[in-house]
Copies of this chain bind each other. A is one copy, B any other.
Amino acid sequence: MSDEARWLNDAELETWLAVIGMVTRLPNELDQQLRRDAHMSHFEYGVLAALEHAEDATRRMSDLAYVCHGSLSRLSHVVRRLEEQNLIERFACPDDGRSTLARLTDDGRRRLAKAAPGHVELVRSLIFDELSEEEAKEYGRLTRRILDRITK
C-alpha cells in the first residue's frame, strides 16, 4: 500500500490491457472455430496434436498434461471423453505401474487431419497475416520469455 512505485504506469497498463484481451479472447476464438467445424475444443485439439508429434503417438498422462498446459485432473476427464469417441486409447505403462500411457488411434489421427487445415488457417489469419516474419519471431521470443517465467 505504501509502495506507489510498484503500480502500473500508463504504458504498462496499455500493454497489460492488450495482454488480458489476448489471453481472454483468443481461446474463445479458437474454441468457436474448432467446435463449429470439427466438434472439438481447442484443448482437445491440443491433446490430439501433442500425441501425434510424440514417439509412437504415445505419451504418459502427466507429460501430456504438461505439454498441453492443463492440470492432470482436467486431462484425465478430457482423455476419458476422447477415449469414448475412440480417438485415443489408454494402457498401463510397463516401466512404472503408477503411470498411464495415452496413444492416438487411427480414428484420432483422421479427426486431427480433418480439423487441422481450418484451424491453421485461423491461426494464420489472426497472427501471421498481421505480423511480418521478423515481427512474428520477435513476438515469439518475448512471449516465450514470459511463458518461462509463468512455468518457473
Give Cα A26–Cα B151 distance, bound, in whole angstroms.
Answer: 9
Pairwise interchain contact A137-B7, C-beta atoms closer than 8 A: no
Known: A18-B140, A21-B143, A130-B145. 16 other contacts (CB 8 A): A7-B120, A14-B140, A15-B140, A16-B140, A18-B147, A21-B69, A21-B151, A22-B146, A24-B68, A24-B69, A29-B150, A126-B149, A126-B150, A131-B142, A131-B145, A138-B138
Contacts of A15 in B (CB 8 A): 127, 136-137, 139-140, 143
Contacts of A125 in B (CB 8 A): 149
Number of copies: 2
The smallest C-beta distance from A112 to any residue of chain B, in angstroms, reads 13
Pairwise interchain contact A8-B123, C-beta atoms closer than 8 A: yes
Contacts of A22 in B (CB 8 A): 23, 143, 146-147, 150
